[in-house]
């Protein structure tokens, strides 16, 4: 048995993951050394939960952060419920 992370013959399956790891390494982690594993975990959590999800703008979301996009979506859902 051979494990694979993508469908046979489709090199684009892992493109979103590759893009994310590129951003992660280039924006925060490139060439950094950590004293302890907990320090690395804390920095990774901060990058994902604080910067990437709450502040960093994403072109696929209309240059909004994921949290802004989600807030806008929830607001639109509430407006639709009020109209109906």
pLDDT score at 2: 59
Residue 5: predicted pLDDT: 59
Compute the Cα dihedral for 69, 73, 74, 78 and give only its sign: positive
Q: What is the pLDDT of residue 38?
A: 94
pLDDT tens per residue across span 5-38: 566 666 677 787 888 888 888 887 677 788 899 9
**Higher-scoring residue by pLDDT: 63, 13:** 63
CA distance 67 to 72: 9
Residue 44 main-chain phi, psi, to 5 deg = -65, -45
Q: Is the pLDDT of residue 70 over 80?
A: yes
Question: What is the pLDDT, as a whole number, of residue 57?
Answer: 86
């Amino acid at each position: 048995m051979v494990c694979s992370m993508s469908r046979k013959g489709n090199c684009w399956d892992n493109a979103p993951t590759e893009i994310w790891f590129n951003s992660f390494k280039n924006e925060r982690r490139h060439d950094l050394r950590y004293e302890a594993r907990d320090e690395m975990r804390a920095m990774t959590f901060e990058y994902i939960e604080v910067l990437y999800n709450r502040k960093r703008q994403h072109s696929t979301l209309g240059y909004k952060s994921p949290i802004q996009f989600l807030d806008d979506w929830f607001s639109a859902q509430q407006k639709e419920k009020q109209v109906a």
